[in-house]
Amino acid sequence: MVWMARGDALELLHLGPRLHDAEDLAVLAAAAARGRHENQPDVPPTGGLLPDPRSGWRGPLLAEFSRDGLPVTPRWTGLHIETSPDLGTIAANWSDGDLETHLRISWTMGAGDVIVTHTQFTDTGFRAIGERGVVTTRCASLLLPLPRGFDKVTHFAGRWADDMRAERLPVSRASLGWASRGGKPGFAGGDWLVFDDEETGAQLGFHIAATGDHEVRIERNDDGNASLVAETPIPAPGFGGLHTPEALIGWAPDAATLTRAFHAHARERLASYAHNAPRERRVHFNTWEACAFDFDEARLMRLAEDAAALGAERFALDDGWFKGRSSDRAGLGDWVPDPVRFPNGLGPLIAYVKALGMDFGLWVEPEMVSPDSDLYRAHPDWCLHEPGLPRPTERNQLVLDFTRPEVGDHIHACIAKLLRENDIAYLKWDHNRRLFPQPPLGAHPGRLRMMWDQLRADFPHTMIESCSSGGGRIDMGLLGPIERFWPSDNNDTIERIRIMREWSRLLPLEVLGSHVGPSPNPITGRRLAMDFRAKVAVFGHMGVEADPARMTDKERECLAAHIALYKQWRGVLHAGDLHHLAHPDPNIMGMMVTHGDKALALVAQTAFSPVFDAAPVRLAGLEPEALYRVTLPAPWPPRARHYLANPDAWREGLILSGAALMGHGLALPLTHPETAWLIALEKIA
């Protein structure tokens, strides 16, 4: 990225591949300059990083201000550039002496060459008590002039159980916009965007790391210049200063490189968080789709035995464990074990789970409260509400008001006591309800982040997962205290392949939970074979969310074999480079991870093929001149295995070059729906 200073203006000169070391930037600027046309001011306005409406600019602005209740336009002067080479940071600073304000915008080049930027506005005046200064009415984390050529944008919208549905749109004169207004990123699809240049294949990735609401829009003027604006609502009252959430920008020559860039950035965030240590992503067994609220201590112990027999390494008790929680109509807020189900607390169950060789995890939803709870009866004013008006519920619950210090302190104390008195290695932290009536802007996410940081400092061995009706609260800003995301409540394998493919374009597999659900699926009603469900679940942080007692012996054997495969390959899957495989059949989806001398690929057919012999599967990310031994790890898909030529050769391994594997590919039986193959590769020369 190259910015050009022109007086106090800062224009985007280049966003793309690294330039030659000898590049003359003045000549580059001259080559990019445009003359005035007939329908412009005599001095053509420039947009750039900090457009000035006084110049005749009629595009979006970075920020807007008011003083004494009236709009005011600062005159930003004194552009000063600071550099911090050790941090990879450049910052631009402006001031307005009359308004006594200061504006700072910084860019930091991080892992994967992903650029992190944010904006900081400061009121620098010394004012008498009660005297009002300049108010920031809106301020964007990012205002980015889009380079020409990026005329298509993919956003990822959806709804509950249909997360991350990619939609590719033209960047035209009609403005595009997305927003979330539920107090969390939600499913609106504007916080993650991928722009592409059809002519060159280059891609530009964007993300606003806002845990609360956001608004993103793209505007193109009649000169053909497009701008991307990303912002969050301004916290009240807006005096004194403002620091926006981070926005991320990544340029890459192709889709695979962009994915690797965002993955490197995510992994760096996890590794640099003070309270994180390298963790092996242990196989989860979650109780929700196995028994929901229908359990007692004895049934959970039987489930734990069955989970351990499959090879699970973590037993996670989902909803229903706390006081009065026999359905979703009561109990939230009372974070103590239910005395009926657990007369001796959680200790005996945890001890039993650990004796079986697993660690223990627990579901919580600490930001919510049930009207039928001891907490609500004691403190009915602790929830978000408007005095004198009805208190509408969602999912039979209300939202706790974290703007009140006593509320956050109480919830923190409850969760800390739970972790202190029990050996809990994992918390599934859910957030199912939208925030309404609306709390003061920014207060809820800020208090929540402080709580997570303190809990991780006090209990560093406890992993926290963010779940919000599935993928409703996922952002890069959470990575660190949060080590795992739940991409969707939908475990239907055909839906999950698509959901995981889209999420993994931006986040690495190790932070994305991927579970084997029951058949029939409780959301779609679809019946799918265990082999298909298990193979797809390997590509992620693998888990199981079904009752083994309802499986046949063959299904349990098949699942156990795939859990063993996951353990064998997770070192590759969770450290390597991910490639999304292309195929002419739109119903064939493939992912492949390369790491060192090894690689593992997943290829899945989701619908009935129009031809019997599907086109060969071309692999990716290999060294063209290297030789690889290629095998198909067992178990093989029951029906498709009968159409595999030379099965003995596949068991022993075929020796092929990287060039052949990427150019010619592998002919695999992919005719029938719900068929998946795993492909293992080892470089031998």
Q: Known catalytic residues?
A: 430, 489
Q: Say if residues 235 and 479 touch (Cβ distance below 8 Å).
A: no
In which element (H, E) is residue 395 found? none
Q: Which two tokens stand for residue 229?
A: 């604006």
DSSP symbol at 522: T
Dist. CA 604–CA 535, nearest whole Å:
9
Q: Say if residues 558 and 534 touch (Cβ distance below 8 Å).
A: yes
Q: Say if residues 516 and 544 touch (Cβ distance below 8 Å).
A: yes
Dist. CA 247–CA 232, nearest whole Å:
11
Question: Distance between alpha carbon 178 and the CA centroid of its chain, in Å?
Answer: 17
Q: Say if residues 540 and 516 touch (Cβ distance below 8 Å).
A: no
Dist. CA 661–CA 664, nearest whole Å:
6
Q: What distances in angstroms separate CA 157 from CA 163, 171, 205, 611, one per listed residue? A: 7, 17, 16, 32
Q: Say if residues 414 and 304 touch (Cβ distance below 8 Å).
A: no
Sequence-ordered list of residues with C-beta below 8 angstroms from that of 414, at least 6 positions apart, any chain:
335, 336, 366
Tokens 């092929």 sit on residue? 656
Q: Say if residues 75 and 35 touch (Cβ distance below 8 Å).
A: no
Dist. CA 70–CA 636, nearest whole Å:
70
Dist. CA 204–CA 76, nearest whole Å:
29
Dist. CA 218–CA 152, nearest whole Å:
11
Amino acid found at 210:
A
Sequence-ordered list of residues with C-beta below 8 angstroms from that of 502, at least 6 positions apart, any chain:
156, 164, 165, 166
